[in-house]
Amino acid sequence: MDSSADEIITEIPYFIRVYKDGRYEKLSGTDTVSAGNDPTTGVQSKDVVISTDSQLFVRLYIPKTNTKKVPLLIFFHGGGFIIETAASPVYHNFLNLVSSESNVVIVSVNYRKAPDHPIPTCYHDSWEAIKWVAQHGNGNGPDPWLNEYPDYENVFFAGDSAGANIAHHMAIRVGSEHPGMKLAGVILLHPYFWGIDRVGSESQHPWLPGMTAIWMFAHPETSGLDDPLINPDMDPKVSDFGCSRVLVCVAELDILKDRGYLYNEILGKNGWTGDIQIFEDKGVDHVFFLKDPSAEITCTLRKRMCTFINS
């Protein structure tokens, strides 16, 4: 037996380990939980396969209070384009709370991930999900929940980390391709943007090599760290951004914090004239809100989302 097959050729802590023979282990984000009725919030959820070819599915959430048309939130989970799914317990629990507290219908997109499906697959899948949702705008789409409950004049995109990156690119595509829904706002939670030049305190952060490694692994054909998909400052399409309101949340201890602040400048200098709100949560790190749902600071972040969606 060739023991060299067990040699590790790539490892990104918390994300993935790849062996010489091509095998890999995802080191976190592999647990799943079924959809259904959440006894705490009363939110109902279900999974719907929207492409039999790719097995792309979305998880739908309907709040208990659904006597009228309510806003629609299309959500893209994080995980560095490598780990986590729409069925991950941390996202399922988070979105049950968001749906209940904000009284919003949620479509959580289970896009395909690296290494089996490297970037740009996640963007293609996410756009397919958006187009599928848009079919319901006239009440004649394939899913009865999406025909009945959402207000398609009041649609939001949201995501965390890599999912926030996807939400950003989907908003640009809405602005250029107009899929048949009105995008009212975008919520970026700890967005994963990057670049060759260091910003703010990035160079002092211990996760500096990790941020680069994640991108290069997830997108092996990338042009590099200034690829427009990871560095919005290099993207000529930013001016197509398809809504007038953006909420950006950053965390004080997160290596990506300064990229969140820079995002405001990037939109402005590219001619975007909308309203952007940036909030920084003190003393916490990347995607803290997934790890402790009942913490006061997490509840504050969800209330911030609720205010943004319902204002």
Q: Coil, strand or helix: which one is 294? A: coil
**Mean pLDDT (the chain, rounded):** 96
Torsion over CA: 295, 154, 163, 114 (sign): positive
Q: How confident is the model at residue 195 (pLDDT cuts 50, 70, 90)?
A: very high
Q: How many other CB atoms are found less than 10 A from the CB of residue 275?
A: 10
- Give pLDDT tens digits for 20-47: 999 999 999 999 999 999 999 999 999 9
Q: How many other CB atoms are found less than 10 A from the CB of residue 31?
A: 11
Q: How confident is the model at residue 2 (pLDDT cuts 50, 70, 90)?
A: low
Q: What is the C-alpha separation between 233 and 261, in angstroms, rounded? A: 12
CA angle centred on 189, ends 257 and 143, rounded to 5°: 160
Above 90 in pLDDT, residue 14? yes
Identify the pLDDT of residue 4.
74
Above 90 in pLDDT, residue 115? yes
DSSP character for 303? H
Burial (CB count within 10 angstroms: exposed 0-12, middle 13-18, buried 19+), residue 244: middle
Q: How confident is the model at residue 178 (pLDDT cuts 50, 70, 90)?
A: confident
Q: Coil, strand or helix: which one is 163? A: helix
Identify the pLDDT of residue 3.
65
Identify the pLDDT of residue 129.
98
What is the DSSP pairing of strand 70-76 with strand 150-160? parallel
**CA-closest candidate to residue 125, choices 108, 109, 141:** 109
Q: What share of the chain is helix, strand, coil (3-state, %, to 5)?
A: 35, 25, 40
The answer to whether 146 and 136 have CB atoms below 8 angstroms apart is: yes
DSSP character for 115? T
Residue spans in the chain of domains classed CATH 3.40.50.1820: 33-310
Q: Which CATH architecture has domain 33-310?
A: 3-Layer(aba) Sandwich (3.40)
Identify the pLDDT of residue 180.
85
Q: Cα-Cα-Cα-Cα dihedral of 177, 234, 165, 197, to 10°?
A: 180
**CA-closest candidate to residue 238, choices 260, 262, 270:** 270
- Give pLDDT tens digits for 153-163: 999 999 999 99
Above 70 in pLDDT, residue 141? yes
Above 60 in pLDDT, residue 1? no
Identify the pLDDT of residue 212.
97
- Give pLDDT tens digits for 86-101: 999 999 999 999 999 9
Q: Which residues are catalytic?
A: 161, 254, 286
The answer to whether 126 and 251 have CB atoms below 8 angstroms apart is: no
Q: What is the C-alpha separation between 36 and 39, in angstroms, rounded? A: 9
